[in-house]
Amino acid sequence: MSDASQKREESLDVIQRELTAFARRARSAAARLHPELPLVSYTLLAHIDEQHGCRAADLAAHYMLDKSTVSRQIGALEKLGMVERHPDPADHRIQVLRPTQAGTQALAATKASRRAAYRERLGEWTAHDLAQFARYLLRYNAAGDATAP
Amino acid sequence: MSDASQKREESLDVIQRELTAFARRARSAAARLHPELPLVSYTLLAHIDEQHGCRAADLAAHYMLDKSTVSRQIGALEKLGMVERHPDPADHRIQVLRPTQAGTQALAATKASRRAAYRERLGEWTAHDLAQFARYLLRYNAAGDATAP
DNA sequence: CATTTCCGTTGTACTATACAACTGAATATC
DNA sequence: GATATTCAGTTGTATAGTACAACGGAAATG
């Protein structure tokens, strides 16, 4: 194996290991830091908000979740008063999901507290390094959803 | 807010969002690609292997898992014949965990298949970008285990 | 129409996880 | 040296998140 491709392999191994380590820790850390709005709910709620309303099937597709999982998660969010289901007049099979005011607020609060945590954690980084890291992550995630990790 | 710190905030948001997206997908993708050795078991087994034997408490600390969780995971790995527990003669409280031959093999196989997936996914990247990305991930993960995401 | 396909719910089961209570072993304190 | 404390691991119990399968109603397609 050439020297260059040797280096590539090493980098790949590091990326694999570190991303996996991150994934392994993400949930517990999120649960600890934001008990009021669990990671999964947060993620779904954020997506609903960004899309300005969407269907359960969209969430399932986007996050590779079973529709039953999404259905229950939405149920939980509804019980918390964070989302509302609006029947679509044009197609009675569809429910359009929208964040309630409480949902929007909770989302903003969680987003702010997460941002603060990241700001602290990455406080030593230069703006250039942050921008580079963000760019790499975007590129990585865009590279095909089905291949990780 | 200054222009520079505006940029910082944007990068932080991207990093937060992309890492979260990754974490959300990691489990299902791993389960799909490697049904024979689940993500958690794989991770623990890999750590045991890299450390050339370690204690359950080390695993718990490193992955921020409860010791009961580790205990059960190790139990599962043992039942699969992938790890052995060796009592430490110097301290009878301690069990040194070691991969069995079967464990080492399964680990190698899974590692190879993951590496192949990564190689394909990141095939377009230059060696330099891979190295940079790996560096950032290492730095990120080293920056304090308790703050993410 | 009849069939198929789509959207969502519900029943059931499994995995990963945490917390608490416990056992046994080593260390510290008096 | 006896007692108390701390440490390593197990087990009981509970919970969250998830998948798969079976279903119901609604729409699209033949």
Q: Chain A: give the shortest CA distance to residue B88, in Å.
A: 28
Nearest CA in chain B to A134: B15
**How do residues A96-140 score in pLDDT, each as one tens digit?**
999 999 999 998 988 888 888 888 888 999 999 999 999 999 998
Contact A22 B23 (CB under 8 A): yes
- Determine what percent of chain A is predicted with pLDDT higher than 90: 50
**How do residues B84-125 score in pLDDT, each as one tens digit?**
999 999 999 999 999 999 999 988 888 888 888 888 888 999
- Cite the DSSP H helix spans in B51-126: 56-63, 67-79, 101-121
Would you call B8 an interface residue with chain A, using a CB distance cutoff of 8 Å? yes
pLDDT at B48: 95
Determine if strand D comes within 7 Å of the CB of B73: no
Structure token pair of residue B106: 């399964």
Give nucleotides in strand C with any atom < 7 A to a protein C-beta: 6-12, 15-21, 24-27
Query: What is the rounded CA–CA span in Å between residue B18 and residue B20?
Result: 5
Query: What is the rounded CA–CA span in Å between residue B73 and residue B40?
Result: 8
Q: Which amino acid would we find at residue A31?
A: A
Q: Give the distance, in angstroms, between residue A93 CA and nucleotide C2 C1'.
A: 20
Asked whether the beta carbons of B63 and A24 are under 8 A apart, the reply is yes
Instruction: Return chain B residues 90..119 having CB < 7 Å to nucleic acid strand D.
Output: 93-95
pLDDT at B37: 73
pLDDT at B148: 43
- Please give the residue that has the higher pLDDT: either B17 or B135: B135
Determine if strand D comes within 7 Å of the CB of A33: no
Mean of all residue pLDDT scores within chain A: 86
pLDDT at B1: 63
Size of interface A-B (CB pairs under 8 A): 196
Asked whether the beta carbons of B4 and B77 are under 8 A apart, the reply is no
Contacts of A40 in chain B (CB under 8 A): 24
Determine the average pLDDT of the residues in A27-37: 70
- Please give the residue that has the higher pLDDT: either A71 or B31: A71
If pLDDT is split at 50, 70 and 90, which confidence band does B146 have?
very low
pLDDT at B13: 84
CA distances from A82 to A32, A42, A109 (A): 21, 10, 13
Would you call B13 an interface residue with chain A, using a CB distance cutoff of 8 Å? yes
pLDDT at B88: 92
- Please give the residue that has the higher pLDDT: either B3 or B139: B139
Mean of all residue pLDDT scores within chain B: 86
Question: For residue A24, is it left (φ>0), alpha (ψ between -120 and 50) or beta?
Answer: alpha
Question: Is residue B74's pLDDT more than 70?
Answer: yes
pLDDT at B35: 63
Question: Is residue A145's pLDDT more than 50?
Answer: no
Determine the average pLDDT of the residues in B123-137: 94
If pLDDT is split at 50, 70 and 90, which confidence band does A149 have?
very low
Residues written for chain B: 149
